[in-house]
Chain A
Amino acid sequence: MRPGEANRFSTHSKTGDGSQVPGVGENVASLSAPNESSPALLPLPPVPEARHPAPGTRHLTPDPVGYLMVLPYLLHLVVFLGYPLAFAFVLIFHRWNIYTPMKWVGLGNIRLLLSDPLVWRALGNTLYFLLIHIPLQLVIALGLAQLLNQKIRGRAFFRASYFLPFVISGVVVTILWQQLYAVETGIINVLLQLIGLPKIGWLTDRRFAMPAIAIMATWKNVGLYIVLFLVGLQSIPSHLYEAAELDGASGWQQFRLITIPMLNPTIMLVLVLSTIGGFSLFIEPYVMTGGGPANSTLSGILYLYKQAFFFSKMGYATTIGFFWATIIFIVVLFQRRFVETEAM
C-alpha cells in the first residue's frame, strides 16, 4: 500500500467526504493507514510519472493491433447493447407486433403511457415495495453482519448459508416461497395457527401480497448485503472502538456513533443497489401472483412484459422500458446527491 493512497483515504474518513461510494479494496487501505495525521503534510506519490516513463513517444502512435484486440468487446457492445438500445428507441415511436410491419405513431405511445393508470399503479407498487424492502434489508443485513463479525463458532458456515439464497435461481426461490406462503398447507400459516393466530392469505390478500414479496426478496438478497456490510465493518479501525471504550462509551453508543457513520458509504451502496433491484422486480410477481391480487403486486417490468409478450405491443413496451430507466436514473441521481450532502 502506497502511503499516499492510504492518506487520501484517511482524508476521506476524517472529513467524511463520501461523495463516492467505496468498493471493497480501499476500505482495507484504511486499516493499514499509519495514522490519522493531517493529509496535507504528506505529498502525493509520483504515480503518473512512474507509469509513463517515456512520455510523448510510444503511446501516441496508435497500434492497429490494439483495435483488433478490443474488437470482440466492441462487437459485443454494438450487437448486444448499442443496437438493441437504438432499436428500442426507434420502437418508442412505432406500433409493432413483431410479425406485421412497423407503423409510425409519433408520440402516441408516450401519450398512452401518461394516461395509463396501470403504469402509475406499478410505480406506486414499486415504491411501496421499496418502503418495506429497504429498511428491512438494511436492518437485517446489518444486524446479521454485526453478528457474523463476532468470533462465533461455525462463522464460515453461517456466512456461506446466508449467501446461498442469493446465488440460487430466482424462480426456484419463488416457487419454494410459494409453498411456504400457501394458505392451507404453507408452513408459515401452520405455525401461525399453532400460536393461535388466524391464517393469512399471503399471496391472495391485497394487503399482504406486496409485503410477502418484499420479505421474500429480502431473504433472497440479504446474503449479498451481509457480505458488503462485513467488508465495511472489518474496515473500521479497531482503535476507534478502543478509544471509545476508554472514554466509557456503551456498546450501543459505539454502534451508533462509530459503526453507523463509518458504514455510511456501505449503507448508501446497499440503498442504491436495492433500489435498483426493487425497480427491476419481475420474477417474484410473475411467478407468484401474476401481478394480482387486484394489481397489488404489478411491477413496472411485469407490466412491460405483459404488454410485450402477452399483447405483442413492442412499441408500448419499450416506451415503458425507457420511462422506467429514466425513473431509476433520477432516483439514483437523487440518492447520490443525497450521499454528498449527507457527508458534507
Chain B
Amino acid sequence: MWDFKFKLFRTKLHRTRIYLTSSLQMRLPALVFLLVLSVSCNSSRSARSLETGGRITLTYWSATNAQELDFANQVAAEWNGRHTEVQIKVEPVPSGQSTEEVILAAIASNTTPDIYANVFPGAMQDLLDAQGVVQLDAYPDFFDVLHERMTPELLDQYRSSDGHYYQVPWKSNPIMVLYNTRMLREAGVTSLPTNYSEFLSAAARVIRDRDGDGQTDQWMLTIDYFPIWYKRLYDYLPLYMAASNGQTLFEGRKVVFDNQSSVAIFRFLHECFARGYAPRQTFQGDVFLDGRVAARFVGPNSMGHLERYRSADFEYDYGPIPRPDDATGQPVSYADPKSIVIFKASQHPREAWEFIKFIISKRHDLRLLELTSQLPIRAGLLEDQTFADYFKRNPKLVKFAEQLATARSIESIAELKEIFDAIAQEVEASVVFDLKPPEQAVHDAARRSQQILDTQ
C-alpha cells in the first residue's frame, strides 16, 4: 500500500519532469531522426524533381499570402504552357514559427524545393552555413541579368561574405510611415511630418480622450513593442538608416550602432511613449483602420489590406521615415527586400535559373506590382514606360518607388536574430517602460550584441 502510494507520487513527479524537458529533448531526436533519414534517402533525392519520360518538374515555394500565391501560380502556368519539358509546381512554403526556421529544417531534412522566392537576405548566412543554396554568379549571364535590374552598388549589398552571390534580389517593401490624413487634418496638421519635431508636435495635436474617462484613447503612433526580434526591422532599423543616412548596424563583425543616431531614435520613441502619443498596450483588431491611431510603420504591401477594408471616408497617405531635425539629403529607409534562391538539393539548378529569369522579367515585375503592390527591385521603375500606367493608377505607391532608390538591405550575419532580440529588449526597457535612459539602453544593446558576435 505504501509502495503503491509512493509510486503514484513518483510517477507524477516523473511525468511532470518529462513534460518539463519535452519541448527540447523530444524535438532533438526527431530532428536527428530526420537527418539520418535524409542521409539514407540520398539515393532517392530526385523525388522532388521527378523525371517522367524526360520531363523535369521543379518545385517552387512561394510566400503563403493569397496575393503572392496568385502571382506564383500565374507565372508558373504561363511557363508551363510554353515549356513542356520543364514543368513548375507551385507550393506555399509550409507554415511554421518563421519561414527561416522552416527553410533550415527543410535543408536539414533534405526536403527543400528547387526554388524558394521569399528569402530574407539577413538570413542568407544561415543558408550558406548550412550549405543549402546554389552559387548563382557561377552562371555566365548572372551579372548581365542583374545589372539590367539594378546598379552594381545596389547589387553589392546582396553579396555574401565569401564574395559570391547566392541570391537574386527580387522584391522590396521599403518602410515608410502610413498616416491617417483625415485625423491629421482634423487636428490641424496640414503637411506630413518629416522630422522628429514635426512628428511630435503633430502628435500633441492628434491625441484625444474621446470618452472623457481621463485616459487617452486616440493616439499618434502605434508600435508593436513585443520584444520579438524581427519587429525591430520595421521601426528601429528604418529609423536608424534614416537618421544615419544609410548606415547599417555593423562593420564586418563589429557593432557600430552605439552612436548619436541610435540615441536620437531611442529619445524620439521614448518621447512618443512618455507623452502618451503611443499606447503602452496591444489591441485586438486593426486600430489604424478603426481610426484610433494616426500613424504606423509599413511597406507598400499594406495598401491591398487598406483598400479592401477601409471605409469610404477613410483617408490615408504615406510619408517619409522621420529623421533628426538637422538631417539633410535624400531620406534613406530599410528596403525589407526578399530574394530568390535555388537549393543545392535541386537536381536541375540550370533549369531553375532559367525559370528565375522568367520570374524577374519586366512583364512579371509589372504583374507582381499589380497583384501584390510589392515593388520589384529594379532601377528606374518610375521612368520605365512598362510601369508608367500602373503608377498613374496608384499614385500613392510612387513614394515607395522613389524611396526604393535609397532604401537598403541589411547585412547577413548568422547572429542577426539574437542581436535584434537584444535591441528589442532595450527598446522595450528604455523606450516603452522608461527603465533606463536612452544612452544607457543603446550602449547596453550594443555591448550585448558585440558579446553575441564575439562568443560565436
Residues of A within 8 A of B (CB): 5, 8-9, 20-26, 29, 79-81, 83-85, 87-88, 91, 95, 97-100, 108, 112, 179, 182-185, 193, 198-199, 201, 203-206, 269, 272-273, 276-277, 279-280, 282, 289-295, 301, 304-306, 308-312, 314, 317-318, 321, 324-325, 328, 332
Contact = CB atoms under 8 A, between A and B. Distances in A.
Interface in B204-224: 213-215, 217
Given A5-B1, A325-B21, A185 B418 contact: no
Given A81-B18, A184-B283, A328-B17, A21 B2 contact: no
A318 B20 CA distance: 12
B29 A276 contact: no
A83 B25 CA distance: 9
B26 interface: yes
B256 interface: no
A199 B19 CA distance: 36
Contact of A332 (B13, B132, B225): B13
B117 to A, nearest CB: 21
B227 A292 contact: yes
Contacts of B129: 97, 99-100
Given A98-B104, A276-B16, A291-B227, A201 B1 contact: no
Given A99-B130, A290-B228, A328-B17, 4 more contacts: A23-B4, A91-B28, A183-B283, A276-B13
Interface string B227-245: 1110000000000000000
A301 B130 CA distance: 27
A193 to B, nearest CB: 7
B164 interface: no
Nearest to A283: B23
A20 B1 contact: no
Given A20-B9, A99-B108, A199 B215 contact: yes
B5 interface: yes
A311 B433 contact: no
Contacts of B18: 81
Contact of A100 (B101, B130, B282): B130
Contacts of A5: 1
11 contacts: A85-B25, A87-B25, A99-B126, A99-B132, A100-B130, A182-B283, A184-B281, A290-B227, A294-B425, A295-B227, A312-B126
Interface residues of B, number: 61
B388 interface: no
Contacts, number: 157
B433 A198 contact: no
B455 A310 contact: no
Given A22-B5, A99-B107, A309-B97, A87 B24 contact: no
Q: Give the secondary structure class of B's interface.
A: helix
A80 B228 contact: no
B1 A294 contact: no
B12 interface: yes
A73 to B, nearest CB: 14
Given A193-B213, A310-B421, A311-B421, A304 B4 contact: no
A310 B215 contact: no
A108 B456 CA distance: 11
Contacts of B20: 276, 279-280, 301, 324-325, 328
A273 B421 contact: no
Nearest to A103: B456
A87 B28 CA distance: 9
Contacts of B21: 88, 321, 325
Contact of B429 (A23, A179, A291, A294): A294
B8 A23 contact: yes
A23 B280 contact: no
Contacts of A24: 8
A112 B215 contact: no
The interface centre, meaning the residue of A29, A112, A203, A280 with most chain B CB atoms within 10 A of its CB, is A280
B433 A206 contact: yes
A91 B24 CA distance: 12
Closest 9 pairs between A and B when the two form their complex, measured CB to CB: A23-B8, A99-B130, A84-B25, A23-B5, A280-B20, A276-B16, A183-B281, A204-B281, A311-B418
